[in-house]
Amino acid sequence: MGQGMRKPLPQLLSVLVLAGVSSAVWAAWLGWDQARDVRADGTETGPYEAWQVIGLVLTLLAAVCWAASRRHIVGAVLGTTAGLTAAAYYDWSDDASGLFMIGVGLVTMGSLAATAVVSAVITSAKQEA
């Protein structure tokens, strides 16, 4: 009973921790920048700059690699995806057009695919070493 009951707890904890980390990292890199930039020709960009998104990806890459190297694959994949999805939904939900749900869906699919691939690569590399 002891061994079987303890196994799900670390996995659940890793999901919760990585979801929290992902949401916090989103807030740190993207959450503070809400203004669109207007160029000289009148076109709008943003609200995020490329360096912010790159920073978010690299920070989350480190967290996913850390979790996957410790065999917390479920946390690395589902926790990160859940945290990013929740953060994107919260950040973009004030969009009156309703199109923000397409963006949230793309964040969900992209983060799920990316974290699954990274976790598989890290797990494979750890098994070969």
Q: What is the pLDDT of residue 119?
A: 96
Domain range spanning residue 30? 2-128
Q: For the segment 56-100, what is each residue's pLDDT rounded down to a tens digit?
A: 999 999 999 999 999 999 999 999 999 999 999 999 998 888 899
Q: Produce one character per residue of 89-102: b if its CB has 16 or more CB atoms within 10 Å, e if not.
A: eebeeeeeeeebee
Q: What is the pLDDT of residue 129?
A: 67
Domain total for the chain? 1
38: pLDDT confidence band, cut at 50, 70 and 90?
confident
